Amino acid sequence: MKKVERINIIMRYINNRAHFTISEIMREFNISRSTAIRDIRNIEAMGMPLVAEVGRSGGYFVMNNSVLPTVRFTDNEVKALFIAFMATRNQQLPYLKSRQSLAEKLLSLISESQQDDLVLLNQILLFEGTNPNNPDLLELSDLPHPMLEKLIQILLLDRYLWITIEEENVMKSYPIYLLHLHREKSLWLIEGFDLKVEKRRISPVDNLTNVKPYHTKKRLSKKKILEKLSKQEEVINLVLELGPKAIAQFKKYHPLKVSISYTSPYQTTAILKTFVDVNHPEELTEITNWLLFLGGDIKAREVPEEILEGLQKRLSLLCP
């Protein structure tokens, strides 16, 4: 860890404590006594008002009614923050309105030369999904579904939820235990355990019309939920060997529930094992298209007949 980075972390560490000692700093940051003392002196020189206590159990404490000195960013730190903002445009992220205020606050903290660098980067860098006709970092044209932030606010307090979803123009309400909230193929998805039918359920946030905490005296514990899910795990019916080209394609995109295990020390070969619900037409089509996306650098160990038929049809259309 670099000295500047270590000192910044130490400043935050001691500012959150009523009292600290040199020994604690040495132990926490794995540094020598002389380094710890030198760092404390540097922090004092930067303006943090520390008071030393004399005696066997003495140490330091931060003077009351004092705050950390102004945060300083290096050129690379500022670039890292703004490039992260740039890369997440048009991703429909929660709390997106705060991106605008955060960017404005950061701009006010940096010099004009740093601002010029960011303007140039904003013109040069273009990430996947960014509208090239409107690359303005402060333009909020990619706001997420309005229910997303409400959902997050509630699940931070309680993951047992009562949700109302519109499915085929019909409103359906049911209680769930929220397992994950994830984004796939430009859609935010709620992955939950349906507490009525006791099965995993995935629903798009775009179809969510209402959500509230699910208060009930008889709650199924998280441990019981995970036990029930483990018993319901599907039998693997798709097994593939991947070469280096297929692995590269896999890294570009893969369905959320699919993972690979590397079989060589240099990660040039891997094996993929998963379950495909052949009775679900949309999932079957998605997997078929994705296998074509992986390319020819794969060997099939086990593949459902329905997938093979789908691949043959697609290939016959591509190569009549």
The pLDDT of residue 248 is 92
Contact 188, 92 (CB under 8 A): yes
The pLDDT of residue 64 is 62
Contact 189, 183 (CB under 8 A): yes
The pLDDT of residue 138 is 63
The pLDDT of residue 72 is 65
Task: State the Cα–Cα distance between residues 129 and 186, nearest whole angstrom.
Answer: 10
For residue 236, the SS3 value is coil
Q: Which of 28, 19, 86 is nearest to 53 (CA)?
A: 19
Task: State the Cα–Cα distance between residues 78 and 251, nearest whole angstrom.
Answer: 28
> Which residue numbers in the chain have pLDDT < 50?
none
The pLDDT of residue 57 is 58
Left, alpha or beta for 118 (phi > 0: left; psi -120 to 50: alpha)?
alpha
Task: State the Cα–Cα distance between residues 174 and 167, nearest whole angstrom.
Answer: 13
Task: State the Cα–Cα distance between residues 89 and 137, nearest whole angstrom.
Answer: 8
Domains of the chain: 3-62 (1.10.10.10), 73-144 (no CATH), 147-231 (2.30.30), 238-318 (no CATH)
Contact 182, 211 (CB under 8 A): no
The pLDDT of residue 208 is 92
Q: Residue 242: which residues within 8 A CB-CB, separation 6 or more?
A: 250, 260, 269, 270, 271, 272, 294, 297, 298
Left, alpha or beta for 112 (phi > 0: left; psi -120 to 50: alpha)?
alpha
Other Cβ atoms closer than 10 A to 36: 20
User: What does the block give as tokens for 250?
Assistant: 């896999």
- List the alpha helices (DSSP H) in the chain: 3-15, 22-29, 33-45, 75-87, 97-109, 112-124, 147-155, 222-231, 244-252, 281-294, 305-318
Task: State the Cα–Cα distance between residues 223 and 74, nearest whole angstrom.
Answer: 45
Contact 216, 265 (CB under 8 A): no
Task: State the Cα–Cα distance between residues 139 and 115, nearest whole angstrom.
Answer: 17
- List, as one string, the DSSP characters of 157-222: T-SEEEEEEEETTEEEEEEEEEEEEEEETTEEEEEEEETTTTEEEEEEGGGEEEEEE---SSPPPH
